[in-house]
Amino acid sequence: MLPGRSHRRQRQATQGSQPSGNTPDSYQLRFPTVVDAVSRSDYDAVTQIAEEIDLNAVSDRQNSRLLAIAPLVLVYLIQNQTPPARYALARLSESHAAHPLINLLTSLLAFTTTRDHRQVYGTGEKIVDLVSQADFFHQEFGLVLTKLTTVFIEQFRRRTFELISKAYSSLPRSLAEKYLGASGEAIVAEAAKNGWEYDSGAQLLKPNASTAREERQMSSSSLSSFVFIANSVGKLEA
Amino acid sequence: MDGIFQQITTTADPAAVANYLKSLNPKDLRDQALASSLSSGQDPLSILNAPLNTLAVLYILVARLCVNNAPAPPLEIIDHFCRNFDPEQARYAPDRVTLLAKSIQKLALSQNNPRAAIQPLYYLVSRYPPDSSYLTTIHPIFTLTCIQATHPSAALPVLQNPITSIDTVLSDLNYNDNLIYHYTGGVLLAMLKRWPEAEEFFEICATAPGSVPAAIQMEALKKMRLVQLIAKGKASPLPKYTNQHLQRQFKGTPYHQFVTNYPTNVEILKEIINKERSLFSSEKNLGLLRQALDRAPRWALKKLTATYLSLNLADIGKAVKIDSEEEVRRLLLDMIESGDISASIAADGSVTFSDPAPQFTRAQVDAVLQNVQDQSALLEYLEKDMARSKEYLSKAVKGRGDDLGMGFQGPDEDIFAHMGSGPGGAMWADD
């Protein structure tokens, strides 16, 4: 494909994003339910609603389809479910796939899958920049995507922090900056809160392995546990 | 049509309605009549109520979808029926339900929108059987539609319910329905990278009993082997009841060579893929093979942990044939995250391996225990149910009768004459 033609298609994809006609379609009509679920941070509901909207839609060519698919992809990423996110993008038509927002989401998915940390943070910033622009075709949609992208980046950073707590006995500060996409000072401050040690001379961080989520401590017994065990023994005796 | 309409709307008993509609002959004229409007020009579907007149609406919808040149009802009407029909009424016409499911799939495909069939089929497959453990003819149609629509996650609510019940009165099943459902279910689960579940589905398909293995069972076996390599790094032995012909045939395929050389001989694995690319592509296994190849270093690394307490990143890279230290770090992190190994990386690049610490909560232990008890109870129920069946009882009695015959024929018949009150003597002592 010639670069010029690709550029024209992308421009058309962005400019032609306004719905045709005056009658709202099913994506536009049900978008408020997506907004509501996002505002409550009920991501299971977002998944269910967005999937249902997309399955019930009569046509899949209109650009308003992005109102369902883009939040769906981001929520799957928040939930660390990359395969359904991938197929949600794969089901889009060619014209949708050429949209700059979809290009960025596709890149974000790829970088998340390959754990290219620097690119994940960079692409997250690009998405927020794109949807925050004054001429973005749907302001409320832009706010929803900003929130979801921010939540995803925070979750990704938190999961990465827990992983390097578990995987590293010591690591250079520069490596931690790459993994966490934050400045050294911010990392050192956060690390201190989680019981890590920092050797400022060697610029080495020493994670505290017990900050990784381990629930070895058994909780105390309860009446329900007693009933359960008694029933189990009863069945063995039977 | 008016006469039929009059009959079906004035008869309260669904069994009588079902008998009436089944008995109308000839069938093609019946369907043509059902596909037409009333003499007043009204559409009968606009008058009938899906929950109250389920059988009538079912027959009309099928007629409209199957009769040539009949106007196909919009998918919204079909969807509405599938959400609201009365399952007990519909069970009087299982063949119509099968036809409806097939027609929904066909209609959506003809509109180049297979996704549109998913919701109606989902409601049909989840509402029609008495519970989710029953296999019906709708199951394989639903899973196939999800594949055609590239929508694996839509199938999960159905796939998560294991099939333990078959009733040929409920649904006009044939042998292939079980095979196709579990094969397509395995494909959907593999698309979602739910490897243990995908393996289970493929195994059910591949090991289904039969005198001669079906072609789909060989395809299921190939995919099952690849899924095992991806998930565990090695192939697991097949159950004893697997058809021996199937296993022998598999050994003659390039898949067997791939499995045999996995995971250490990466160059040979690449050669096999290159040499048989067109075969693998036509059998739609190239994606799985590539994933297996990408994960080969992982299993090679895991083998190292059995031998070494610590290594540095460069040595690990040499052993698993990865040049970039960055890639080795990424692989290690991925394996630590997924729990495949327990290791600790130091700033100087040394990696110390350890035994994975057990990580479980009381709630997880209780859940596993509860699950085991539920499964035991289910097995006990299924065993008793099978023991009540006419086929099992007649074979069991026949088997014992043969043993009795042999016992009285030989010189030991005097021994049997003195034992117990029953004719079988000591053989019945444990009953």
Cβ distance B313 to B328 under 8 Å? yes
Domain that residue B56 falls in:
1-169
Q: Which of residues 78-117 of B touch A (CB under 8 A)?
A: 79, 113, 115-116
Q: Is residue A162, in this structure, part of any structural domain at all?
A: no
Please write the tens of the pLDDT for every residue from A11-38. 444 444 444 456 788 898 899 999 999 9
**Is B268 in the same domain as B326?**
no
A112, A127, A157 — which closes off a domain? A157
Structure tokens belonging to residue A237:
């005796």
- Compare CB distances from B347 to A170, A216, A225 and report the shortest one's residue: A170
B144, B169, B194 — which closes off a domain? B169
**Is B331 in the same domain as B289?**
no
Over range A73-85, report the average pLDDT.
96
Distance separating alpha carbons of residues A65 and A97, to the nearest angstrom:
12
**Is B95 in the same domain as B232?**
no
Q: Is residue B421, in this structure, part of any structural domain at all?
A: no
pLDDT at A159 over 50: yes
**Is B274 in the same domain as B210?**
yes
Cβ distance A211 to A194 under 8 Å? yes
**Is B164 in the same domain as B29?**
yes
- Report the 10 Å Cβ neighbour count for A172: 15
The residue among B345 and A23 whose pLDDT is bigger is: B345
**Is B278 in the same domain as B159?**
no
**Is A132 in the same domain as A180?**
no
- Compare CB distances from B153 to A84, A216, A219 and report the shortest one's residue: A84
- Compare CB distances from B191 to A83, A164, A168 and report the shortest one's residue: A83
- A58 vs B contacts (CB less than 8 Å): 116
pLDDT of residue A190: 87
pLDDT of residue A238: 59
Structure tokens belonging to residue A173:
């500060």
Distance separating alpha carbons of residues A52 and A75, to the nearest angstrom:
15
Q: Is residue A219, in this structure, part of any structural domain at all?
A: yes
**Is A174 in the same domain as A145?**
no
B345 closest CA partner among A178, A207, A183, A210: A207
Distance separating alpha carbons of residues B234 and B253, to the nearest angstrom:
17
A201–B contact, CB cutoff 8 A: no
Terminal C-alpha separation, chain B = 63
Place of tokens 């058809």: B243
**Is A29 in the same domain as A86?**
yes
> Between vectors from CA B79 to CA B75 and to CA B81, what angle results, nearest 5°?
120
Number of domains in chain A: 2
**Is A103 in the same domain as A56?**
yes
Interchain contact, B113 vs A60, CB within 8 Å? yes
Work out the minimum CA distance from A235 to partner chain B, whole angstroms.
9
In this structure, what are the phi and psi dihedrals at residue A204, rounded to the nearest 5 degrees?
-115, 135
Query: What ipTM was predicted for this assembly?
Result: 0.82
**Is A31 in the same domain as A83?**
yes
Q: Is residue B13, in this structure, part of any structural domain at all?
A: yes
Domain that residue A87 falls in:
5-157
Over range B100-117, report the average pLDDT.
94
**Is A112 in the same domain as A19?**
yes
- SS3 state at B356: coil
In this structure, what are the phi and psi dihedrals at residue B35, rounded to the nearest 5 degrees?
-80, -10
Interchain contact, A232 vs B346, CB within 8 Å? no
Q: Is residue B54, in this structure, part of any structural domain at all?
A: yes
A136–B contact, CB cutoff 8 A: no
Work out the minimum CA distance from B214 to partner chain A, whole angstroms.
30
Q: Is residue B367, in this structure, part of any structural domain at all?
A: no
Work out the minimum CA distance from B29 to partner chain A, whole angstroms.
33
Q: Is residue B100, in this structure, part of any structural domain at all?
A: yes
DSSP codes of every residue in A63-124: GGGHHHHHHHHHHHHHTT-HHHHHHHHHTS-HHHHTSHHHHHHHHHHHHHHTT-HHHHHHHH
Q: Is residue A27, in this structure, part of any structural domain at all?
A: yes
A56 closest CA partner among B82, B187, B389: B82
Instruction: Return all residues near A197 (Cβ < 8 A) that are at least 6 apart.
Output: A205, A206, A208
Place of tokens 């290219």: A116
Please write the tens of the pLDDT for every residue from B246-266. 999 999 999 999 999 999 889
A114, A135, A157 — which closes off a domain? A157
**Is B326 in the same domain as B213?**
no
**Is B9 in the same domain as B129?**
yes
- Report the 10 Å Cβ neighbour count for A178: 14
Over range B352-372, report the average pLDDT.
80
A225–B contact, CB cutoff 8 A: yes
A-B C-beta contacts closer than 8 Å: 85
Q: Is residue A84, in this structure, part of any structural domain at all?
A: yes
Interchain contact, B333 vs A115, CB within 8 Å? yes
**Is B57 in the same domain as B111?**
yes
The residue among A228 and A184 whose pLDDT is bigger is: A184
A157, A185, A210 — which closes off a domain? A157
Please write the tens of the pLDDT for every residue from B21-47. 888 777 777 777 777 777 787 788 888
Over range B190-215, report the average pLDDT.
95
pLDDT at B405 over 70: no
The number of angstroms, rounded, from the C-alpha of B286 to the middle of its chain's C-alpha atoms is 22
Q: Which of residues 132-161 of B touch A (CB under 8 A)?
A: 149-154
DSSP codes of every residue in A1-47: --HHHHHHHHHHHHHTTSPSSSS--HHHHHHHHHHHHHHTT-HHHHH
Interchain contact, A216 vs B359, CB within 8 Å? yes
**Is A107 in the same domain as A177?**
no
Structure tokens belonging to residue B72:
């196909």
**Is A196 in the same domain as A122?**
no
A80–B contact, CB cutoff 8 A: no
**Is B28 in the same domain as B127?**
yes
Q: What mean pLDDT value characterizes chain B? A: 87
**Is B74 in the same domain as B13?**
yes
The mean-pLDDT minimum among B97-106, B288-297, B318-327 falls in: B318-327
Number of domains in chain B: 3
Interchain contact, A87 vs B191, CB within 8 Å? yes
Place of tokens 């289904």: B208
**Is B312 in the same domain as B281?**
no
